[in-house]
Structure 1
Amino acid sequence: MTNELFDLTGQTALVTGASRGLGQHFGRALAKSGADLILTSRKLADLAPFVAEIETLGRRCLPLELDVRDQASIEAMAAAAEAAVGQIHILVNNAGCNVRKPALDVTWDDWNLILDTNLRGTFFVAQQIARRMVPHHYGRIINIGSVTSVFGYASLAPYGASRGGVRQLTMSLADDWGKHGITVNCLAPGWFRTEQNKVLYDNKEWVEYLVDRIPVKRPGQAHDLDGAVVFLASESSRYITGQTLLVDGGISTGSTRATVPPPSGVKA
């Protein structure tokens, strides 16, 4: 095995939702592996600091405005990206949102916001970029899911439904587009601190509760995702499609002890 399997030099990756958080970490990892970037956000100005950072790495970087809840915005972004760079090799479908509420308190508008952004937006961005990948008979599409794609949590009903939908969508698109040389996979992070959930991580008791249920005994750190996104974007994953890769420290294995801890001072 050589580094060529993970080398993205000469390729262009489009990362949605790149103005902050994990979207920036995905973009940074791809750029460090050689890819030029197209970055999107609802507010173009929010991308400026990150664009400058990527350019210091010696990579080209194109910022584009995108609202994944707006079909016209998706179509305009895809057309502008193609006109500017030609072939788009990699798509990281990262744009998403959440509203954390008990299920009885979720409103109609909450549901629509989350599903329209996380599921409908993911599909139509993938569709527009895949149309441009097909003529080149090559593409890597990475839909960002979550441990909630496979695991249920209270107060995350619409979010879990959207991320579970992304997992199912990934399998369908992989079947649709494999004949065109396009792989479609889902990268599903576990519990990582982000802008959406930082209030939880400010609660020491909650963090201890979480860590107790993670086999590796810590929440995720952004760099834990670097290898996974580069792997799915590169030639090293060429025969992998329709899969969901959980990067979750093992919490999806169960999270409930099946044995009683031994008394203090007694070896297990």
Structure 2
Amino acid sequence: MSVFDRFSLEGRVAIVTGASSGLGVTFALALAEAGADVALGARRTDLLDETRKKIEALGRRCVAVRTDVADPADCEALVAAARDRLGGTDVLVNNAGVGRVVPSHKDDPAEFTRVLQINLIGAYQMAQAFGRACIAAGHGGSIINVSSVLGMVSTDAPQAAYSASKAGLLGITRDLAMQWTLRRGIRVNALVPGLIHSDMTAAIEADEKAAASALASIPMRRLGDADELVGALLLLASDAGSYMTGSFLVVDGGWTAQ
């Protein structure tokens, strides 16, 4: 096996949540290009179907399932679709998420809870459904929790709910790795992007003060592009990362190195 062969996902099935736009689309296409068949989950079915067509154009099999990760039944249904219609559950990319920028003294507790329900509890519910499927099938797998450097550092933009959810996801990553890697063969890692051009960073980019502060904290003095996360994603998903579990793979232009 060559070093490049270790990055191949040929014959495997990947599940990607939040696959209707932004990073989710980039991740789904990258996994397909690496050889995986892909099960897509998101709430916006029209956009989800567009992603499905792009994957099928690459010659890969794909199923698209309307999924609200806040609903555990939806999480189970997405995993079941991957298993029953594509034949496996090998990789889970926990990407679904929402942002919220609001001063904490004005924040609505219900909205704070909604962010946690999707970003943190939803990711945990997806991991549970995926883990149960792997255990029942008697094989391992790879879970990639998409966190954020905002779970480790902060900007001038007030986003307590988002930061709390992404910090919590790092804790879940560590705990599931301890529970499942040795006994179940399921590796659990976190991909930790910095500020990447996407719908999620639009609010920060639109705020001149917050944008200037963020750029001043990044040694590369720029936001990243979604494609710059693909190498890290494939490392965690494939045999190339077979000795990685409980790890946080940071791709942030040097922000957290300071």
TM-score range, shorter chain: over 0.9
1:235 partnered with 2:203: no
Deviation of 1:193 after TM superposition, in Å, equals 1.9
Matching of residue 150 in structure 1 with residue 120 in structure 2: no
CA distance in 2, matches of 1:136, 1:153: 43
| Match runs of 1:128-207 below 5 Å | 128-134=129-135, 135-154=137-156, 155-178=158-181, 179-202=183-206, 206-207=210-211
Q: What is the SS of the residue equivalent to 2:199?
A: coil
1:108 and 1:202 mapped to 2: Cα distance? 25
Does the CA-based 8 Å contact 1:87-1:136 persist in structure 2? no
Query: For the structure 1 residues 91 and 149, does the alpha-carbon distance in structure 2 shift closer, same or farther, using more than 3 Å as the test?
Result: same
Q: 1:35-93: CA deviations, max 9, x gaps?
A: 11111111322211111111111111110111111122222222233221221110000
One-letter amino acid of the structure 1 residue matched with residue 171 of structure 2 = Q
- Contact preservation (8 Å) 2:40, 2:64: yes
Tell me the TM-score normalised to structure 2 length.
0.93
Superposition map of 1:19-168 within 5 A: 19-134=20-135, 135-154=137-156, 155-168=158-171
1:99-132 Cα distance to aligned partner (Å, 9 max, x none): 1111111111111111000110000110001111
Contact 2:102 2:159 in 1 (8 A): yes
Q: Which has the higher helix share?
A: 2
* Residue aligned with 2:200, SS: coil
Kept in 1, the 8 Å contact 2:75–2:125? The answer is: yes
Quick check: 2:18–2:42 contact (8 Å CA) kept in 1?
Answer: yes
Alpha-carbon distance in 1 for matches of 2:27, 2:190:
13
Q: SS of the counterpart of 1:185?
A: strand
1:187-214 CA-partner distances (Å, limit 9, x unpaired): 0100112113314324566544432321
Deviation of 1:234 (Å): 0.4
Q: 2:223 and 2:200 mapped to 1: Cα distance?
A: 15
Secondary structure of the residue aligned to 2:56 is: helix
Q: Give structure 1 stretches of 5+ with no counterpart.
A: 255-268
Match status 1:218 vs 2:222: yes
What percentage of aligned pairs have identical amino acids? Answer: 37
Bigger mean CA deviation after superposition, 70-79 or 38-47? 70-79
Runs (5+) with no aligned partner, structure 2: none
- 1:133, distance to aligned residue in structure 2 (A): 1.1
Find the structure with the greater CA-based Rg.
1
Cα distance in 1 for residues equivalent to 2:79 and 2:128? 10
Q: Which amino acid aligns with 2:236?
A: L
**For residues 43 and 99 of structure 1, what CA distance do their matches in structure 2 show?**
19
Q: How far did residue 6 of structure 1 move?
A: 0.3
Measure, in 2, the Cα distance between the counterparts of 1:246 and 1:68. 24
- Counterpart of 1:189 in structure 2: which amino acid? P
Aligned partners of 2:212 and 2:178: how far apart in 1?
41
Distance 1:248 1:201 in 2: 16
Deviations 1:200-238 (A, max 9, x none): 324566544432321122211111101000000000111
- The answer to whether the 8 A contact 1:36-1:60 is kept is yes
Q: 2 CA distance for matches of 1:171 and 1:198?
A: 30
Q: Distance in 2 between matches of 1:205 and 1:66?
A: 36
Q: Residue in 2 aligned with 1:245? A: 249
